[in-house]
Chains A and B, each alone.
Chain A
């Protein structure tokens, strides 16, 4: 076969390519890179000041009670826990979907699993508020129906509630990539491994898990970044003590109207998030394009 690219007639009409490239460039440069760079620049100035300074960044060490560092650290820890929990909850389902269910049953299950996630995130959070709050359905069942509790308890506004809702919100983002990785795994490989004497655990360890790794990585990255930068769930479901880093940033921008400081906080968030994503990719030996490109 010819090793050469086919010369398309479009090669002669370069403006066609230019016309195709223009929207993309305006978008990425105008709406993404430039604003991000602008924000980055802002973070190096004090409010109203005109000298470059690291003061905004250094201020995190001078907060009263080191509030930023504490909140940041807690958010990071919780986010990693959320990613891990979601993985544990979603993995078996992804496996069942890819390898146990067949044909029509499989299609029905895919629809069944995907449907709730088309629903607005706010509604999904609201649904849990309706379940868990003091006048909620769970309390009604425990107090009025089953009579195991003398009086309603507030199940909302604590860390456990927050974790449950986080996992609920991002389940599909974990499930789908793992499912599609596993779906691509040839069943005969599992059979071959068994045929060669592997037990269940070895089959999982040497055949199933490596095949699902791109999906797992992609799911972890999505769940991690989206929970890290989430504002709704900690605000609506979390308690006073579950302050999230995005709430802190929001406060700098809106309550304190200190954009420069807010920008600095944002970039710390971005940098740490990128670092974790990078670490995940290194750990699993995947690339961002491979993981998010499909």
Chain B
């Protein structure tokens, strides 16, 4: 083929099409998808296998690992520890999500709308939290909590500090877990929201004000609806990141483990199909939440 000649329309349409290349491409895609889905598929399958080990061969279908009626097998819905951990994780995730949405939105407005001295440095510090190892974030927060308690005791006296509950808040526990997770998940939320705010045509806010809206009304009725897809996806990302967090949580957890922590400790001692059952629940939950946010995000985002 003469490379100088003008390409035919067919060649332009698919720039990298050779017969064998096409075959190779689909083999690659198939292997890729297999790599992604096979492990998860098997986890799900083994949750329903009527066997005491999460392993093949297939011995028949059962729901024992979800709700065992006899009590021989510990189904997750008969396992108070497991249910408790789920509740804890849910609570933490909701707390983190709420914090992320509120702070993420204000931070996004600040970064995008009101450049102030030091804004770039602050942004950098924020983004850095994503790449700081989670373990270090957790440890640092924990030792700061300890420091604050010590200093406050010296200043205000032990009884007072205990009375207002500060020391229990700053000791390992759910409050610290929420703060610790938020400290880096907040950056993800901010980046998502700021990204959409950046594309918001500011004229629309001015138009609303020109038509008689106050600034607050303009933001509420014009800007926030525009941000909605970003808020939904920031919410989902925050929720899921919190729900799965292990590294940061590890050092901040008190006597109420979150699901990943419990899952981890179970994993190290005995592996039963109950773990598969939990996995199935989480997979279904996470996947549907993720899909929902993607679809909502697409539907609600006509560009201005």
- Evaluate whether A266 and B183 lie within 8 angstroms (CB atoms) in the complex, with A28-B125, A140-B56 already known: no
Q: At the interface, yes or no: B25 with Cβ under 8 Å from chain A?
A: yes
A91-143 contacts to B, CB under 8 A, are: 92-93, 96, 99-100, 107, 110-116, 118-124, 126-131, 135-137, 140-141
Which single residue of chain B is at the shortest CB-CB distance from A121?
Answer: B244
Known A-B contacts A111-B294, A270-B133; the reply to A259 vs B143 at CB < 8 A is yes
Given A191-B7, A229-B136, A263-B139: A127 in contact with B14 (beta carbons within 8 A): no
Task: Identify which of A199, A231, A292 contacts B250 (C-beta below 8 A).
Answer: A231
| B287/A24 in contact, CB under 8 A | no
| Residue from the list B11, B46, B240 in contact with A130, Cβ < 8 A | B46
A25, A28, A42 pick with most chain B CB within 10 angstroms: A28
| Nearest CB of B to A7, in Å | 11
- A23 contacts B by Cβ under 8 Å: yes
B291 at the interface (CB under 8 A from A): yes
Chain B residues closer than 8 Å to A190, beta-carbon distance? 15
Does A33 touch B at the CB level, under 8 Å?
A: yes
B156 part of interface (Cβ distance < 8 Å): no
A225 to chain B, nearest CB (A): 4
| A100 close to B14 (CB less than 8 A) | yes
Interface string of A219-259 (1 = CB under 8 A from B): 00110011011111000100000000010011001000001
**Bound complex: CA A228 to CA B134 (Å):** 11
Cα of A198 to Cα of B7 in the assembled complex, Å: 11
Known: A32-B137, A120-B286. 12 other contacts (CB 8 A): A21-B110, A23-B103, A123-B40, A130-B42, A130-B43, A130-B276, A140-B55, A195-B6, A229-B133, A229-B136, A232-B264, A253-B139
| Majority SS at the chain A contact face | helix
Neighbouring B residues of A10 by C-beta, 8 Å: 215
Contacts of B55 in A (CB 8 A): 130, 135-137, 140
Cα A266 to Cα B133 with chains together (Å): 9
How many residues of B are counted as interface, with CB atoms below 8 angstroms from the partner's CB atoms?
Answer: 95
- Please, which residue of chain A has its CB at the minimum distance from the CB of B286? A118
User: Is residue B283 within 8 Å, beta carbon to beta carbon, of the partner chain?
Assistant: yes
Q: Select which of A19, A93, A222, A293 is within 8 A of B32 by beta carbon.
A: A93
A6 touches B294 (CB 8 A): no
B132 touches A270 (CB 8 A): yes
A144 on interface, CB distance cutoff 8 Å: yes
Q: Are A92 and B15 in contact (CB under 8 A)?
A: no
Mark interface residues in A174-210 (1 if CB within 8 Å of B CB, else 0): 0000000000000100110011011110010000000
How distant is the Cα of A123 from the Cα of B266 in the complex, in angstroms? 12
Can you give 10 contacting A-B residue pairs, CB < 8 Å? A27-B183, A28-B125, A31-B182, A118-B286, A119-B287, A130-B46, A140-B55, A144-B57, A197-B4, A225-B130
A38 within 8 Å of B (CB atoms): yes
**Contact assessment for B124 and A289 in the assembled complex, using a CB-CB cutoff below 8 Å:** yes
Q: From A267, which residue of chain B is reached at the shortest CB distance?
A: B136
A107: which B residues are within 8 A, CB to CB? 298
B29 close to A (CB within 8 Å): yes
Main secondary structure of the interface of B (DSSP, over half): helix
A107 CA / B299 CA spacing, docked (Å):
13
Instruction: Please determine whether A126 and B109 come into contact, CB atoms closer than 8 angstroms.
Output: no
Cβ A123 vs Cβ B279 within 8 A: yes
* Minimal beta-carbon separation of A177 from chain B (angstroms): 12
Are A39's CB and B32's CB within 8 A? no
- Which residue on chain B has the smallest CB distance to residue A294? B195
Measured CB to CB, the closest approach of chain A to B274, in angstroms, equals 12
- What is the interface of chain B, defined by CB distance below 8 A to chain A? 3-4, 6-7, 11-12, 14-16, 25, 28-29, 32-33, 35-40, 42-43, 46, 53-57, 102-103, 106-107, 109-110, 114, 116, 120, 122-137, 139-141, 143-144, 147, 179-180, 182-183, 186, 191, 194-195, 206, 209, 215, 240, 243-244, 246-247, 250-251, 260, 263-264, 267-268, 271, 275-276, 279, 282-283, 286-287, 289-291, 294, 298
A61 at the interface (CB under 8 A from B): no
> In the complex, are the beta carbons of A24 and B110 less than 8 A apart?
yes
Q: What is A's interface to B at a CB cutoff of 8 Å?
A: 6, 8-10, 17, 19-21, 23-25, 27-28, 31-36, 38-39, 42, 89, 92-93, 96, 99-100, 107, 110-116, 118-124, 126-131, 135-137, 140-141, 144, 168, 171, 187, 190-191, 194-195, 197-200, 203, 221-222, 225-226, 228-232, 236, 246, 249-250, 253, 259, 262-263, 266, 269-270, 273, 277, 288-289, 292-294
Known contacts being A119-B286, A126-B275, is A39 close to B139, with CB within 8 Å?
A: yes
Neighbouring A residues of B144 by C-beta, 8 Å: 34-35, 38
How far apart sit A256 and B287, CA to CA, in the bound complex (Å)?
Answer: 40
> Is B251 a contact of A228 with CB atoms below 8 Å?
no
Q: In the bound complex, do residue B42 and residue A31 qualify as a contact, i.e. CB atoms below 8 Å apart? A: no
B279 close to A229 (CB less than 8 A): no
CB distance from A30 to the nearest CB of B (A): 9
CB closest chain-B residue, reference A109? B29
Given contacts A8-B215, A17-B114, contact A292 B39 (CB under 8 A): no
Please give, as numbers and ranges, the residues of chain B lying within 8 Å of A250 by CB-CB distance: 135, 250
Q: Do B25 and A116 have beta carbons less than 8 Å apart?
A: no
Chain B residues positioned under 8 Å from A141 (CB to CB): 56
